Amino acid sequence: MVNLNIIHKNRSKKYNNLVIPATRSERIFDYFNYFITAVLALSMVLPVLHVLALSFSSADVVNMSGLHIIPKKFSLEGYRYILKSKYIWTGYFNTILRVVANTVLGLLTTMGMAYPLAKKKLPGRSMFTWFIIIPMFIAGGLVPSYLNIKELGLIDSRWALILPILAKPYNIIIMRNFFMNIPDSLEEAAEIDGANSIYILFKIILPLSMPIIATVGLWTIVDQWNRWFDCLIYIRDTNKYVLQVVLRRIIFETSVEMIDAQNNAKMAISQEVIKNATIIVAIVPILAIYPFIQKYFVKGIMVGSLKG
């Protein structure tokens, strides 16, 4: 489990040393393997490319059937159209707002809980640990959660998208496990100098914990970017809609209100072009960063699979 890459390299090297000529069936298997994996990878890329190509095409091309990979008749009318729509912009703004708020406040709350739980001497530690773990297994479910938000008067408030998922039990536990591996001696020196725990957490522990903070932070960012259901049920004011909900209304409900609120222009432009351009606008930020951040996510799965 420790260093996967090294084991991997060693193994393939040793394979090469013990040269055994591949049999015919083995070679067929290899070709088959390359073929299957290539088909799978293509099945993931093509739908995105298709929509991308169509989003840059003019309306008459969109109605031509077949697979599009390169835009025929390049045109920006779809983008010109949706970028004039007010809701794309408010959607972006609201999404970025919830991503930032949840990441910053969420990390602070998570750290604030995880750090004390990492202290073995803390009175009531196991009780508080159970307090965190229980909600991983039992949850109120859709209706009680909704009624709770309603009772708290958070309907139509942006806080409804932030507070209910501020700190996740799983994140608290893995952060606690990380803190437990930091040697106590570092903190003891500061304690002797009279520093309190809050100071120690932010000045000593925080700089040492950047790997876990990056991991949990990136999970939160991607999760928040893609969230839509809470906005759908808690938010009625269209100005507070997040991007995913705007997208949903445009592609599934073909909501004219969403696209056409600002520009009362003629609907000469095809709905399809607008849909495609909206999808692309919503996924480009994620597609641009995911290859670089995926390793943090993979690492998280490994951390989670170890019993803590």
Partner 1 sequence: MQSTKSVILTVKNRNKNRKHVLKAVWKYRYLYILMLPCIINFILFRYKPIYGVIISFKDYKVKLGIMGSPWVGLDNFKAIFAGTSFSTVFWNTVILSFYKLLFGFPAPIILALLLNELKNIKYKKLVQTITYMPHFLSWVVVAGLFIQFFSPGNGPVAYIFKAMGIKPVYFFGDPKWFRFSMVLTGIWKSIGWDCIVYLAALSSIDPQLYEAAIIDGATRFQRIRYITIPSIMPIVIILLILNSGSLIEDNFEQIFNFLNDAVLSKGDVISTYVYRTGLVKMRYSYATAIDLFRNAVAFLLVFISNFIAKKVGEEGIW
Task: Show contacts with partner 1 in window 172-231 (CB under 8 A).
Answer: 172, 196-198, 201, 222, 225-229
Among 116, 255, 261, 296, binds partner 1 (CB under 8 A): 116
State yes or no: residue 28 binds partner 1 (CB under 8 A).
no
Footprint on residues 244-263 left by partner 1 (CB under 8 A): 244, 247-248, 251-252
DSSP, residue by residue, 240-253: G--HHHHHHHHHHS
The smaller minimum CB distance to partner 1, of residues 35 and 265, is found at 35
Q: Are 130 and 136 contacting, i.e. CB atoms less than 8 angstroms apart?
A: no
The least distance separating partner 1 from the CB of residue 245, rounded to whole angstroms, comes to 8
Near partner 1 in 70-99, by CB under 8 A: none
Give the whole-angstrom CA distance, residue 203 versus residue 142.
40
Could you count the other beta carbons within 10 Å of the beta carbon of residue 179? 20
Q: What angle do the packed helices 86-117 and 210-226 form, to 10 degrees?
A: 140
**Nearer Cβ to partner 1, position 122 or 180?**
122
Can you tell me which of 57, 62, 98, 102 binds partner 1, judged by CB under 8 A?
62
Cα–Cα distance measured from residue 147 to residue 231, given in angstroms and rounded to the nearest whole number: 15
Nearer to partner 1, 54 or 81 (CB): 54
Interacting residue with partner 1 among 31, 126, 127, 141 (CB under 8 A): 141
Burial of 191 per CB tally in 10 Å (0-12, 13-18, 19+): middle
276 is a contact residue toward partner 1 (CB under 8 A): yes
Asked whether the beta carbons of 250 and 278 are under 8 A apart, the reply is: yes
Secondary structure (3-state) at 20: coil
Q: 3-state DSSP helix/strand/coil percent for the chain, to nearest 5?
A: 75, 0, 25
Query: Stretches 71-79, 81-89, 254-262, 271-279: which one binds partner 1 (CB under 8 A)?
Result: 271-279
Establish how many alpha carbons lie within 13 A of residue 30's alpha carbon, considering only the half-sphere containing its beta carbon: 6
Q: Which of 28, 70, 83, 142 binds partner 1 (CB under 8 A)?
A: 142
For the CB of residue 86, give the shortest distance to partner 1 in the complex, in Å: 20
- From the CB of 11, what's the least distance to partner 1, in Å? 4
Q: Which of residues 150-169 bind partner 1 (CB under 8 A)?
A: 151-152, 163-167
